[in-house]
Amino acid sequence: MDGISDLLEPYSETIGKIAGTITTLQFLSGIALLNDIRKKQSSDVYPVEPFLGGIVLTVLSVKLGQVMGDQPMMKVNIIGFAINTVFMVGFYYYASGERKTQIWAKIGYVSLFLMSCIAYANFEDPKQVEFRLGMIITGILVWLVGSPLLNIPNVIKNKSTEGMPFPIIFAGQLVVTAWMFYAFSIRNHVMVWQNLLIFVLGGIQLSMFALYPNTPVKKQPPSGKKSSKKNN
């Protein structure tokens, strides 16, 4: 690990700028997914968590940037919040009536969580907030990247990756890779292991796209109907 750090340390500032740029571009990865939703005229097959999670992450990151006095972090995540909000509106527009009710319930839970975090950050010691908000953000990232793994048994069973948001997963993998290299360059071992864990989880999901197509599962007619047609 120290060998990699020695190699990358002279370029840490450049790597940080690249990581920041990739992160900004990653916010736009939902465009391809929304376009697919538009073509299908339904968002029900996709999970809403990536968009809600994006809103949570950007709000908490803005607060963390405020605590740290990091203006670039605040600016990037304010843009990210605006973009994710637009994506969330598009996702909601193409959801079915029943799904819209579920989305509103999740928005309520997310709002309560964010208000609690921001209220806590306003009264706690800034040094404690910086560490704890950072850990919360890392935990949410791990959950966002890891939660789609719960759907892998269905992917294998149906031999289809339909419903898995490839653009978001791929873009997230690029972001994690960039920040992992940056962590190496500044010798932040905790940050290295955090991003390495997320990198492995994302790699498992990407491997599913290499094994199975992203096409709807063809429903086979019941065997009884086949036999009845033959008898006729």
pLDDT tens sequence across 103-145: 999 999 999 999 998 998 888 787 788 778 878 887 887 777 7
DSSP letter for each residue of 25-62:
HHGGGHHHHHHHHHHHT--TTS-SHHHHHHHHHHHHHH
Do the domain assignments include residue 177?
Answer: yes
Assign 227 a pLDDT band (cuts: 50, 70, 90): very low
Answer whether 16's CB lies under 8 Å from 182's CB. yes
pLDDT of residue 37: 87
Tokens of 205: 């999901």
pLDDT over threshold 70, residue 222: no
Nearest to 74 by CA among 86, 84, 61: 61
pLDDT over threshold 80, residue 196: yes
pLDDT over threshold 70, residue 218: no
pLDDT over threshold 70, residue 224: no
pLDDT over threshold 80, residue 3: no
Do the domain assignments include residue 226?
Answer: no
Tokens of 147: 């939660």
Tell me the C-alpha distance between 175 and 192, whole Å.
13
Do the domain assignments include residue 30?
Answer: yes
pLDDT of residue 220: 55
Q: Could you read off the pLDDT of 156-194 as tens digits, one per residue?
A: 888 888 777 787 788 888 888 888 888 888 787 767 887
Do the domain assignments include residue 36?
Answer: yes
Tell me the C-alpha distance between 9 and 65, whole Å.
24
Mean pLDDT, rounded, for 203-209 = 88
Do the domain assignments include residue 215?
Answer: no
Tell me the C-alpha distance between 52 and 108, whole Å.
11
Q: By residue range, what is the domain housing residue 11?
A: 1-210
Mean pLDDT, rounded, for 47-75 = 82
- Taking each helix axis as running N to C, give the angle between helix 49-68 and helix 30-40, from 0 to 180 degrees, rounded to the nearest 10: 160
Out of 5-9, 54-58, 146-150, which region has the weakest mean confidence (pLDDT)? 146-150
Do the domain assignments include residue 227?
Answer: no
Mean pLDDT, rounded, for 200-215 = 85
Q: Contacts from 158-162 at CB under 8 Å and sequence distance 24+?
A: 158/217, 159/212, 159/213, 159/217, 160/212, 160/213, 160/214, 160/215, 160/216, 160/217, 161/208, 161/209, 161/212, 161/213, 161/214, 162/45, 162/214, 162/215, 162/216, 162/217
Do the domain assignments include residue 228?
Answer: no
Number of structural domains found in the chain: 1
Predicted TM-score (pTM) of the model is 0.68
Do the domain assignments include residue 33?
Answer: yes
